[in-house]
A and B are shown apart, each in its own frame.
Chain A
Amino acid sequence: MAVISTYSLKPFNEKIKDEELLHLLRRCLFGVGHKDLTFYKGKTLSQCLTALLTPSPTPPPAREELSDGVDLNPAIKVGGTWVHEAFENEEVNYRRKLMFRMWWTGLILNRDFSLTEKMTLFWHNHFVTETDVVKDSRYSYFYAAMLREHALGNFKKLIREGTTCPAMLVYLGGNTNFKSAPNENYGRELMELFTLGKGYGVQYTEDDVKAAARVLTGWHDDKEKSTGVFDPAQHETADKHFSSFFGNTVIRGRTGPDGANEADDLMDMIFSKKETARYVCRNIYRWFVYAHVDDRIENEIIHPLADIYIRNNFEIIPVLRILLGSEHFFDPVFRGCIVKSSADFLLGSTMEIGVTVYLAPDKTYTNLVDCHEPWLQYHLTCEDLAMRIGDPPSVSGWPAYYQAPKYHQWWINSASLSMRKKITDGLSTHDGLIFNGYSISFDFLNYAKQFQNPENRDGFIQQVTDLLFAVPPSKSLLDHLRGLLVSGMETDYYWEKAWKKLVEHPDDKETEEVLNARLRMFFAKLLSLPEYHMM
């Protein structure tokens, strides 16, 4: 039985081995492809972390992508953004919600070398809104843009801003939180799910929830400006008294527009509790390292990380730098111990191997950057795999990150595994997965070409499995699969010959197809192995 051998947060070796680098990248990116490895290989651990912790540039806003439909707003053309424009009716809003979701999925599919997308999704899971509950496509867009802006930034700022962002005001009833009839929903989730958590010595009271709700009375969403606005007339101006857990804090009632600032006081109080930092660090740990946090991890990893978090006034980068660069993180016991989320599996495999999008009749794209419609298809497929980005199943996020003792095994059941196999099988066929006017298929030949000496069959298989698998498939299994590359021939000679021919005649379609046919069958099997579900 595997055991953890180090609980140290001390920096790990600066010179990291390939398998250690891959471990780091698998956890931080969605899939690891040749491009990623090329970028990171040769860097020291510090350099790797610096690159990972460099925020991606702010992406262009969500746009009108679907040429088949029409946004009724004449200001909006295909390719133009709609995020600042009112929508006329629910149909338009519905289309925009789809475009919002495909925008998000597209950002992941076009990720760079930064941790930004992984952390954006982390905050989405941590600080949930659901697009279909929020209902206003613009609100959800601004919510997601906010998560991305703060993804590698300051958590306290994120929560403060998010508390009064229109999406959250709608999602958890902040906009119906009036002086005359406070709505406790947000106050409760703020403490229980977004900041303090439950258990681990957290002892806020029901009255604290009510007091927090009263602090936030008067906020509501503004349809015109797509922001949260403060209405002093609806604000409870009396003092708010908190329990001994908060040191009997009193948030003084403020009147007029100044009432809005009570939200800041509330944040100060909640963020003064070390439990908040610990709760977030625990969730970070589960996201990046391992689901199961025992007492020793709590004391020797989570608590010190929380102290760093507090010392850095809730900037996340120093915490991530310590955790992802620690001896503990690189303990081999954690290599390949996380079951891939649906996004990690679906978007990750696409990022790893690369796909070709064929547009009917003969137009070919080599990547997903220029062809936007597949982004929506990826979004919907991820949804079929129980991960609807933009709409987690509840305010608690995906059960994979909180539901003990199953945690990440939540992704895995007979339906999802069948579906995962169908998807990788489909992407592994020549025709790929076919949609209206285009198809998507893995580009195995291009992937294979980027390995060193792919004509050396065993060397090729070794490199492929090193790159694709966090838990290596067994040698005996690979011994069976290797035959697929040579159609059961007993020698490598013909495999080598085909590659040589391709080098000599790079445009020879027949040779390409001879290699592709074998690669397709080989990879379809590899990608359906149980080991491929681990990262």
Chain B
Amino acid sequence: MNRKAFIRNSAIITSMYPLLNAMQACQVKKIGSSKKIIIFIQLLGGNDGLHTLIPLSNYRRLTELRPNIYLPENKILPLRGTSDTGLHPALGGIKDMYDNGLAGFIQGVGYEKPNFSHFRSSDIWLTGSEPSKVLYTGWMARYLETKFKNYPDGFPSHKQPDPPAIKIGDTGTFLFQGGVMDMSIVINPAIPFGSSGSEAEEEVSYSFGAEEVKTIREILLQTDRYAGRVKKALNAPFSSSKLYPKTGVNILADQLKVVSKLINGGLETSVYVVDLKGFDTHVEQVTASDKTKGIHADLLGKLSQAITCFWDDVVHMGREEDIAGMTFSEFGRRIVSTSGLGTDHGSSQPIIYFGGNINSQLIGKNPVIPDKVTVDDNLAMQHDFRSVYASILRQWFKAPDDVVKSVLQGDFHDLSIFNS
């Protein structure tokens, strides 16, 4: 056995990583790339579905079970083609999109044996796991790993010059946690891209270390293999929709504004996550004097406004056919309200989806509210959350069946979300 053969034969003697491939200089491609893009809007804290997509057919039951928070019937927004279901008055923008065939709703999405822990339940949603099983990677990362084989080795490449996924906001998301590493880059709209948002230099000015940190930071920036492309995309000329509120007013709108800039700038990233905090409304979900106001109304208002502004950008770019979005939360909320004008952790939830190439409809039925309801009772699930994921993979990304099954670790039927 010669030495080379020995090295090959002994799998122990392979180093952790081959040297990184030389970085490839890639030019931003022409505007108008036609790859499919999906934007997930994560509503952090658990969104109250009964207070979002209102089952008018059960309205009287709501007034009984949620006497301190139910919305006045005459304020609930009607939806095209139905008198059974309406929308929270703060969701005017979404209503318009639905009425124009640009949005849809999936009723009762969840999983069996609901878990009421924020952490565990969001992990279930983000990893796409069997509720009883712990997974360590995000379901979307598992899909992206099939598209970006051996990531990060060999990326960015000429064919795939852009990040597999982008998270907008403070921090990363479990959704993009791959087996080897986080597959996303994080862009925080509150910090100029590429800066650390750090005052470290000032804080440690007593040490020679501060200068060294600056040097390392500069090199790290050059090392960030996607920085050039992202920066270029962010700086491409684009006039954002006039509908956007001022920066800082609606944090979700600020995030989606960045997404549209990146798309306009030619980035071929196909998955984005943005998020909105504050849905954990145990108390003061509504104000006592006006139940159409309060924390939840504010949040839904921001959601509706942000999507409306973003969609205006999409139309302006002419990318309606390629772009879709979807909300989700770690769970819905309890049927019975709390005495503090709020709701406790619940189970299934409605999902809002939007896009120019979707089946604009109400998928599923209004949630069934049992005859006898205690404070512990929850809404039954109609659709397994992984059916939503399966639909995205198969209908939107045209993923082959075996890939879908392996990513979701099971066989889940499609829901008719997208036009195929």
Contact = CB atoms under 8 A, between A and B. Distances in A.
Contact of B170 (A419, A473, A480): A480
The residue among A484, A510, A520 with the most chain B CB atoms within 10 A of its own CB is A510
Interface of A: 1-2, 66, 68-69, 90-91, 94-95, 98, 290, 332-339, 373, 376-377, 380-381, 383-384, 408-409, 412-415, 417-419, 421-423, 425-426, 429-431, 433, 435-436, 470-477, 480-481, 483-484, 486-491, 494, 497-498, 509-510, 513-514, 517-518, 520-521, 524-525, 530-531, 533-534
A373 B198 CA distance: 40
Contact of B179 (A408, A429, A488, A533): A429
Interface residues of B, number: 69
Interface stretch (B62-70, B74-82, B119-127): B119-127
Contacts of A421: 223
Contacts of B23: 414
B171 A480 contact: yes
A337 B214 CA distance: 12
A489 B280 contact: yes
Contact of A517 (B17, B174, B199): B174
B152 A2 contact: no
B123 A514 contact: yes
A530 B207 contact: no
A417 B215 contact: no
Nearest to A380: B15
B210 A2 contact: yes
A514 B134 CA distance: 9
6 contacts: A335-B206, A412-B215, A423-B16, A429-B179, A489-B277, A518-B119
Interface stretch (B4-12, B28-36, B49-57, B336-344): B4-12
B16 A433 contact: yes
A448 to B, nearest CB: 15
Given A381-B16, A429-B177, A336 B119 contact: no
Is chain A's interface secondary structure helix, strand, loop, or mixed overall? helix
B16 A384 contact: yes
B220 interface: yes
B219 A414 contact: yes
B219 A417 contact: yes
B45 A489 contact: yes
B198 A418 contact: no
Nearest to A65: B12
Given A2-B210, A489-B277, A491-B280, A68 B222 contact: no
Contact of B280 (A68, A94, A490, A498): A490
Given A2-B206, A471-B207, A525-B171, 7 more contacts: A69-B10, A418-B225, A435-B11, A436-B12, A474-B200, A494-B119, A521-B182
B205 interface: yes
B119 A471 contact: no
A2 B205 contact: yes
Nearest to B1: A91
A246 B19 CA distance: 48
B375 to A, nearest CB: 19
B209 A377 contact: no
Contacts of B225: 418
Nearest to A423: B16
Is chain B's interface secondary structure helix, strand, loop, or mixed overall? loop
A377 B198 contact: no
A418 B223 contact: yes
Interface of B: 1-3, 6, 10-17, 19-20, 23, 42, 44-45, 117-120, 122-123, 134, 136-137, 152, 169-172, 174, 177-182, 188, 196-200, 203-213, 215-217, 219-220, 222-223, 225, 275, 277-278, 280, 330
B216 A412 contact: yes
B216 to A, nearest CB: 4
Contacts of A380: 13-16
B118 A483 contact: no
B3 A417 contact: no
A489 B44 CA distance: 7
Nearest to A478: B198
Given A66-B10, A429-B136, A483 B171 contact: yes
A419 B210 CA distance: 23
Given A472-B204, A481-B171, A413 B219 contact: yes
Contacts of A530: 196, 213, 216-217, 220
Given A91-B1, A514-B117, A531 B12 contact: no
A68 B20 CA distance: 29
A430 B208 contact: no
Top 8 nearest A-B pairs by Cβ distance?
Answer: A430-B136, A336-B209, A436-B11, A337-B208, A474-B198, A425-B181, A380-B15, A530-B216
Given A339-B216, A477-B198, A521-B171, A384 B19 contact: yes
A471 B3 contact: no
Contacts of A480: 170-171, 188, 197
Contacts of B42: 488
A405 B45 CA distance: 52
Given A473-B198, A484-B172, A68 B119 contact: no
A471 B197 contact: no
B249 to A, nearest CB: 18
Contacts of B1: 91
Nearest to A383: B15
